Amino acid sequence: MDVCYSGSILYVYDNQKAMYGKEDSINLSMSPTHFGKAKELTCSLNFIRTQPDTKEIYEHWAEYKKCKFEAEISIPLTPRNRLEKVIFTPQTMGGVIACGAVSGSEKYNELIRSAERKVLAIDTESGGVFHAASERGINALTIRGISDYADKDKNRLEDKTKVVVIELVAKNAASFLRLQLSNHRFVRCIVGFRGSSDTVPLFSDPTAVDNVGALTSRVADKIDESLRRYSPEYRLRERGYGLPVPRLRELDPLVRLMRLRRSIQLTHEMSWLLRANC
């Protein structure tokens, strides 16, 4: 239910080394890379919880999300340990987020904490985004909805709720970002970055892109070109060879309609919050 956000990523995949341990076990050593130094960006989001002009609307948001969760999730939830209570009200916090492997291991989590003891959460996507942003002199921000403790029971709640919990925490993260539009400190920070950044375009010929399919094709060509330049093994592959990794694809009209309806529903939720605050 919680939401974590950061302008700083601990990229665990960089300089990671696997070694054989006792009884053929695998030990990992890490020397991760830090991306992002825009602390003022993370701090600007914090103000929404404390400032008189935004605190009330934030509390309305948190209460609404608590009611939404209680209405959608009917099964009893188990806290991480017996000393804790299950809290339905989403907590929001800023700090360092680690980008690494999908974790269901406390040993792996401890290894990450040994590299950065203040890590809030682990994700698998933000590192690549922050890396690309860093190369282009762009400040980046990640906002993550937290659905599990990254432990051996991480899939249990998702299975029991038929992934409803994942949708709820994703909406928490998205609506938290939307909520920040009422936080003039965050907006001012973003406008300041936009005016001062020296950005490098992704393509040397930044012509207009008409649709997602055209953009996907151009990105695929760019990736193929880079792989053929830097990877001797990839050069031997026929052009058009598909890497075994997730790809972007254009959604069919029915799926896009469903996504649009969800977006409209989220807009109605935020409109209700704004009216309640007036």
pLDDT at site 60: 93
Distance of CA 61 to the CA centre of its chain: 20
> Helices 52-72 and 164-179, interaxial angle, to 10°?
170
CA–CA dist 155, 32 (Å, integer):
27
Token pair for residue 217? 């094709």
Q: What angle do CA 129, 201, 259 make, to 5 degrees?
A: 50
pLDDT at residue 245 is higher than 60? no
Residue 5 · residue 142 · CB < 8 Å: yes
CA–CA dist 37, 46 (Å, integer):
16
Q: What are the residue boundaries of the structural domains of the chain, listed by start?
A: 3-200, 212-278
pLDDT at site 106: 80
Nearest to 105 by CA among 165, 72, 71, 154: 154
Sign of CA dihedral 71, 75, 80, 85: positive
The pLDDT > 70 percentage for the chain reads 65
The pTM assigned to this predicted structure is 0.65
Dihedral angle over CA of 178, 179, 180, 181, nearest 10: 70
Nearest to 224 by CA among 242, 208, 207, 201: 242
- In total, the chain counts a number of residues equal to 278
pLDDT at site 62: 93
Beta bridge partners of 93: 4
pLDDT at residue 265 is higher than 60? yes
For range 235-260, the mean pLDDT? 61
CATH 1.20.1630 for domain 3-200, yes or no, is: no
**Residues 192-212: tens digit of each pLDDT:** 877 655 544 444 444 544 555
Q: Looking at 52-66, 166-180, 197-211, which range is the least confident one?
A: 197-211
pLDDT at site 143: 93
> Helices 253-277 and 52-72, interaxial angle, to 10°?
130
> Helices 184-196 and 39-46, interaxial angle, to 10°?
160
Please, which pLDDT band fits residue 104 given cuts at 50, 70 and 90? confident
**Residues 114-157: tens digit of each pLDDT:** 888 888 888 888 888 888 888 888 888 999 998 877 777 777 77
Q: Which residues, including other chains, have CB under 8 Å from residue 277's CB and lie 6 or more apart?
A: 56, 57, 60
